[in-house]
Amino acid sequence: MTDRPILIAGRNGQLATCLRGLAAMRGLPAVALGRRELDLENREGIDKLIASIAPSAIINAAAYTAVDQAESEAAKVFSINRDGAAALADVAWQMNIPLIHLSTDYVFDGAKADAYDESDIPAPLNVYGASKLAGEAAVLAAHPLATVLRCSWLYSPYGSNFVRTMLRLCETQPIVRVVRDQHGNPTYAFDLAEAVLRIAQRSVTDDRRATAGIFHLAGQGETNWHDFAQAIFHERSRRGARIPSIEAITTEEFPTAARRPRNSRLDSSKAERVFGIRLAPWRHSLEACLDRLVGEGETDAEGNRAGWRQRNAPLSDHARGQQAVAPDL
Ligand SMILES: NC(=O)C1=CN([C@@H]2O[C@H](COP(=O)(O)OP(=O)(O)OC[C@H]3O[C@@H](n4cnc5c(N)ncnc54)[C@H](OP(=O)(O)O)[C@@H]3O)[C@@H](O)[C@H]2O)C=CC1
Ligand SMILES: Cc1cn([C@H]2C[C@H](O)[C@@H](COP(=O)(O)OP(=O)(O)O[C@H]3O[C@@H](C)C(=O)[C@@H](O)[C@H]3O)O2)c(=O)[nH]c1=O
Ligand SMILES: [Mg+2]
């Protein structure tokens, strides 16, 4: 391996935070740049900035991800998710280094009965999905050897995600209503980060043609938002905290600005074949996430709860990654 750092575009987002934590734990040099240092909307000078860092690879963990808000600011969304992504891909191609780019299950319209594989034709229902699909194409046009990873329903102890939204509702609502007719694969950001780092390291050393193209990579097992919420409440309740009652509703009963696919389950078998990578079952990783968010006892200086280290000692790498304090890189 090389001593040159991996450049992470994004800093405080879910995936960026997990990537930083895991890289620090492994002693892998990494530099994470948030939008203040590297603004994907105002791209002037990013080639010089990145050249000064001399990275071994670029991971693009930055994106505009507010799905409903995206409907009313499409120009900004496309600027970040398409043009910003393409600019990073262009720099990586010029520097002859690997680029790993993240995309989404929301590129699909949900009409398929089965899980989507990489040969299925995308047809996004909303601005966010359309911008991410345009981003995939722009990235691969600028960097034909880029790796595009489509994941789904990302959750973690950080940032904005469904798990944290549901835990917040537990504090304030006696009853929570959640749609049961949208199906997908929840993905723990630490599991994804671990896979992304492995793929990044491999593309630095291996023939990059093997790692080029689009791959689906999501947590194992499928669910719907209602059952996901119910599992979150179950985990919270097991830890002695109060939970609301839950009501299953239809998409029509929960109007939102953006349309969402009824089915965006991803078939991740190509990633397993090519990379030998299979993410953990979402139910298992949800427990690790809830241990972080609803642990027992006091929180220590590193954000860990008393007893957490002991209870999780024999767990896999991603759980250990959670103990790492993401450093100020
Ligand atoms: N969240 C999800 O459910 C899913 C996400 N994805 C994809 O995975 C990737 C990571 O998502 P996630 O970690 O959830 O994202 P978050 O919304 O948690 O974080 C967004 C990141 O993007 C950065 N960012 C936002 N605007 C800009 C900008 N103008 N210039 C530079 N950086 C910017 C933020 O920077 P800063 O650090 O400064 O805040 C932050 O690091 C994205 O590509 C997303 O599309 C795919 C499927 C599901
Ligand atoms: C808060 C809430 C949401 N919902 C519904 C709305 C929606 O259909 C579904 C999920 O809502 P959210 O807004 O949390 O999730 P959403 O923003 O749609 O999540 C998506 O984010 C982007 C970035 C992706 O790439 C996707 O993979 C996916 O994770 O749950 C309820 O039914 N009840 C509720 O109380
Ligand atoms: Mg959302």
CA nearest ligand 2 atom 32, residue = 178
Gap from CA of 253 to ligand 2 centroid (Å): 14
Lowest mean pLDDT among 169-173, 181-185, 262-266, 295-299: 295-299
102 backbone dihedrals φ, ψ, rounded to 5°: -105, 135
Gap from CA of 272 to ligand 2 centroid (Å): 27
CA nearest ligand 2 atom 3, residue = 178
Gap from CA of 162 to ligand 2 centroid (Å): 6
* Closest-CA residue to 176 (of 230, 97, 214): 230
> What are 157-213's pLDDT values in tens digits?
999 999 999 999 999 999 999 999 999 999 999 999 999 999 999 888 877 778 899
Q: Alpha-carbon dihedral of residues 40, 72, 149, 133, nearest 10 degrees? A: -100
Residue 303 has pLDDT above 60, yes or no: no
* Closest ligand 1 atom to 15 CA: 13
- 152/192 Cα distance (integer angstroms): 10
Per-residue model confidence (pLDDT) at position 2: 65
- The residue type found at 43 is R
The pLDDT mean for the chain works out to 90
Number of alpha carbons in the 13 Å side-chain half-sphere of residue 312: 24
Mean pLDDT value across residues 270-295: 94
Residue with the larger pLDDT of the pair 91 and 204: 91
15 lines ligand 1 (CB under 6 A): yes
Per-residue model confidence (pLDDT) at position 309: 43
Residue 302's pLDDT band, with cuts at 50, 70 and 90, is very low
* Closest ligand 2 atom to 153 CA: 29
> What are 138-155's pLDDT values in tens digits?
999 999 999 999 999 999
227 lines ligand 2 (CB under 6 A): no
Per-residue model confidence (pLDDT) at position 329: 31
Contact 226, 179 (CB under 8 A): yes
152 lines ligand 1 (CB under 6 A): yes
CA nearest ligand 1 atom 22, residue = 62
269 backbone dihedrals φ, ψ, rounded to 5°: -70, -25
Mean pLDDT value across residues 311-325: 38
Residue 307 has pLDDT above 70, yes or no: no
102 lines ligand 1 (CB under 6 A): yes
Per-residue model confidence (pLDDT) at position 319: 41
CA nearest ligand 1 atom 1, residue = 154
Gap from CA of 14 to ligand 1 centroid (Å): 7
- What ipTM does this complex have? 0.98
- 186/221 Cα distance (integer angstroms): 8
233 lines ligand 1 (CB under 6 A): no
Ligand in nearest proximity to the CA of 49: 1
Whole-structure pTM value: 0.92
Per-residue model confidence (pLDDT) at position 304: 47
Q: Which two tokens stand for residue 282?
A: 């979402």
Instruction: Show which residues are catalytic.
Output: 128
* Closest ligand 2 atom to 63 CA: 23
Query: According to the CATH classification, is domain 6-323 in 3.40.50.720?
Result: yes
- The residue type found at 170 is C
* Domains of the chain, residue spans: 6-323
- 138/85 Cα distance (integer angstroms): 8
- 150/241 Cα distance (integer angstroms): 34
* Closest-CA residue to 213 (of 268, 149, 292): 149
Sole residue written with tokens 């590193």: 302
CA nearest ligand 2 atom 31, residue = 178
14 lines ligand 2 (CB under 6 A): no
Helices (H) and strands (E) in the chain, counts: 13, 12
Gap from CA of 281 to ligand 1 centroid (Å): 23
- 100/223 Cα distance (integer angstroms): 27
Per-residue model confidence (pLDDT) at position 295: 67
CA angle 151, 102, 147 (to 5 degrees): 105
Lowest mean pLDDT among 19-28, 70-79, 207-216, 266-275: 207-216
* Closest-CA residue to 149 (of 97, 109, 203): 203
- The residue type found at 147 is T
* Closest ligand 2 atom to 251 CA: 8
Ligand in nearest proximity to the CA of 225: 2
* Closest ligand 1 atom to 192 CA: 8
Residue 111 has pLDDT above 90, yes or no: yes
